[in-house]
Amino acid sequence: MKRTFDFLAALIGLTILLPVIFLVAVLIRIKLGSPVLFKQTRPGLHGKPFAIFKFRTMTSQCDEQGRLLPDEIRLTRFGMLLRKLSLDELPQLLNVLRGELSLVGPRPLLMDYMNRYTREQARRHDVRPGITGWAQINGRNDLSWEQKFELDVWYVDHQSFGLDMKILWMTVIKVIKTEGVSRSGHVTMPEFQGYASNGAVEK
């Protein structure tokens, strides 16, 4: 039932939002150049890698050694606006159509994090990742990594169609209010470093 709902909702969403998607793509092409889309490998259901799509929000500026500059330098005002309105996430509806994402589920993070989770935290991959999730409506990037993972695992244990509908509705409200877009003092979420043997977060 969930997969059918995801597919139909994503198809309808893409159809309705096509003018917005086209406009955003054109503006990105004008302001940031090519490519318009940002593509990155993320872990899906049971950790299986897939290519996630997002609208590009950063420049490709590098230092003299060819390394990308920090996010706070490369993130443009236009990119910040796209993130604030969550418009950069719209291409992920394609991932939903392809069955790689669900509308609701734990957000897919970086592949580099896969061996940094505790066994309990790794259970977040027992379900298909989502565009939005329980953690996103309960603080989003204002949360610590530990809080996010606790909420993700809670969702895995309590998922239901009714809960998904609640999360989708609350997501709309959060987007309108632009809450929790970035953590205080950071333009993006700091990297998750994993845990030391004593269970403390490594810095």
Is 6 inside a domain boundary? yes
Tell me: the pLDDT tens digits for 19-45?
A: 999 999 999 999 888 899 999 999 999
For residue 10, the tally of other CB atoms under 10 A from its CB is 21
Q: Identify the helix (H) or strand (E) that includes residue 37.
A: strand 37-43
Is 192 inside a domain boundary? no
Is 197 inside a domain boundary? no
Give the residue numbers spanning the domain of 44. 2-177
Is 154 inside a domain boundary? yes
Tell me: the pLDDT tens digits for 136-185?
A: 999 877 888 999 999 999 999 999 999 999 999 999 988 887 765 555 55
Q: How many domains does the chain have?
A: 1
Is 191 inside a domain boundary? no
Three-state SS for 50? strand
Strand partners, 196: none
Is 51 inside a domain boundary? yes
Is 101 inside a domain boundary? yes
